[in-house]
Structure 1
C-alpha cells in the first residue's frame, strides 16, 4: 500500500453454517486516514465507492470453486501445466525483473523477499529499488484480488467465493447471508489471495483466521503482508480492517473463539482449516 496498508477479513461461523477456519471477526467502517490496514473485512458496511459501481455492467462474475472429479494423471499434468503457464498480475510483476526465476508455486512474499536477497536490497534502510518494487507488488496484489474475487461490492458470486475461500461448507444463496458470515472473519487478504492462487495449481496454502483485530494486526504488520489503502476500491475496499490502530472491541463471534458448542453454533469445523478447498479449482 502506498499510503499505508489495509487489511481485509472475511467470514463468520453463523447459525448453521460450517466454517472450516481458525479465526474470524466483524466488519468495520471505512478507515479515515489510516496508515495501514490489512486485508480484512469490516463490520459496518462502508459507503460504496464510485469504483464499486463503475464496473457493474462490464465486470464478469467471478467463478466459485466447485468440487471436481478425479482425472487421469496425464490429464492432471496437462491441466497443471496450463495453469502454471497462464499469466496473472503477479506473473507480470515478477517478469519485469530480468534474471529472476519466479516460482508461482511459492507464496508471494517468500518470492518477493527472495528477489530482494538476490538483488541485495536490505529491509533495513531499504534502497529506492526495493521501495519501488514493493509498491509495484502491492499494485499487482490488488489486481490479483480482482482477478480471483472480482470488484463488485454487490456481486453475490464474489461474496460466495469469499465464503468458499475461508472454508464455509454450505455457502449461502443470498448476498446478505454471505456478508453476515464474512463479517465474522479476520484473515489476511494477501494470504487469502495466495491460498486461492495456489489451490488453482494443486498446491496447499493455509490462510490463518484470527480471533480479533489486534492479533490480525500484529501478524499483518510483522509479516509485511499489507495492501495499498489508496488503491483498495469496490469489494476490496469494503474488506479493510484497522491494522495500525486495531480496535479492542473488534473480536470474532465464531464458535471457535466464543466457546459455544458445535451444535449451538451450527457446526463450525475450525480444525479442518488446513485441508480446505482440496480438489477445488477456479474456472
Structure 2
C-alpha cells in the first residue's frame, strides 16, 4: 500500500480508501447490510451491528473480541507495523509532533507521551490521501490530543472507545495504548 496520511490539502494526493479488515468483519454479517465507507465511525457501526443482531452480553463480548482483532489488523495495515522509521515519522506528523523525531526510538518515546484515542487515528487513516514526501504530511485536525491521561480516560469512558491491550498485536498500536481502567 502507498504511504497514507490524513491531509487537508486536496491537491496533495488521491483518496486511498480501500475496504479493510474492519469492513470485512462487518460484511461477514450478511443480514446487516453494511456498505464500506471511510466516513463511518467503526465503533458506532459495531454498536449498530450488535443491536441489529440482537446479541446478548456473552455474544457481544465474543464479537467485540473479533472486531478488535480486525481493528488491530487494519490499524497495522494502514499505519504500519512499526519496523520502518517512515511509519513512525508519518504517525508523529499526523498527530502533530514537532519537531519530527529522527529515530524509531525517539518517535516511540514522543508518541507514547501523547494522550490520543486510537480510534481517532484509525478514522483519520481510513480517510487518508496519498502523500509521498514526509515533509508534506500535515497534522490531522480530527485527532484530539488530550492534556493528560485523566482527560483521555474520561473521554474514552463517556464514548465507550476502549481498546483492550491483549488484542493489540501491531507494535505501533501497542505504543499508543494507555492504562485507563
Please report the TM-score for the alignment, with normalisation by the length of structure 2. 0.75
| Aligned match of 2:11 | 70
1:238 equivalenced with 2:175 (yes/no): yes
1:171 equivalenced with 2:107 (yes/no): no
Query: Moved runs in structure 1, 4+ residues, more than 4 A?
Result: 66-69
| Aligned match of 2:133 | none
Give the aligned CA root-mean-square deviation in angstroms.
Answer: 3.1
Kept in 2: contact 1:198–1:205 (CA 8 A): no
Max Rg structure = 1
Aligned pair partner of 1:190 in 116, 119, 123: 119
Change (3 A) 1:70 1:176: same
1:106 equivalenced with 2:23 (yes/no): no
Map residues 155-166 of structure 1 onto 2, 5 A cutoff.
Answer: 155-166=84-95
| Aligned match of 1:88 | 20
Query: Could you tell me how far 1:101 is from its partner in structure 2?
Result: 2.7
In the TM superposition, what whole-angstrom CA distance separates every residue of 1:192-250 from its partner, at most 9, and x where no partner exists? 1112112349xx88222111111212222332222232232333223321111xxxxxx
Query: Could you tell me how far 1:166 is from its partner in structure 2?
Result: 0.7
* Structure 2 residues not aligned, in runs of 5+: 131-139
Q: How many residue pairs end up in the alignment?
A: 168
Please report the TM-score for the alignment, with normalisation by the length of structure 1. 0.51
* Structure 1 residues not aligned, in runs of 5+: 1-59, 245-283
Q: Which of the two has greater helix per residue?
A: 2
